Amino acid sequence: MKIRQRPANRADGAYLDEIFHGQEDPAELMAAHPEAVPGTPTCVLAKDDGVWRIAAAQNTQVFDVETLTAG
C-alpha cells in the first residue's frame, strides 16, 4: 500500500506543506519546518489467520524540490 502523506494543522486542518509552494529553493524552509515536509509511507500487508496485518512499514520524507514547490 502506498500513501501520499500531507502534514496538517490540528486546529484548522490547513496543509503545512503549502509554505513550500512557489518557493524557488525551499531548503531553508525545510530545515526550519521539518514537520511540514510531506511523506510517502509504504506498508506491506500480510494475511495472518484470515486477518490483514502490517508486516513492514517505511515512512520517508519527500525532499524533491519540484514536488514541494508545485502549487
pLDDT digits (tens, 9 = 90+) for 6-26: 899 999 999 998 988 888 888
Residue-level pLDDT at 44: 95
At position 21, the amino acid (one-letter code) is H
Q: What is the pLDDT of residue 43?
A: 92
If we measure between CA atoms, which residue out of 47, 44, 23, 42 comes closest to residue 33? 23
Region 57-61 average pLDDT: 88
Q: Which of 41, 45, 63, 66 is nearest to 54 (CA)?
A: 45
Q: What is the pLDDT at residue 66?
A: 78
Task: Output the pTM of the full model.
Answer: 0.65
**How many angstroms separate the CA atoms of 42 and 4, rounded?**
9
- Name 48's Cβ contacts closer than 8 Å, sequence gap at least 6: none
Cell of 55: 508486516
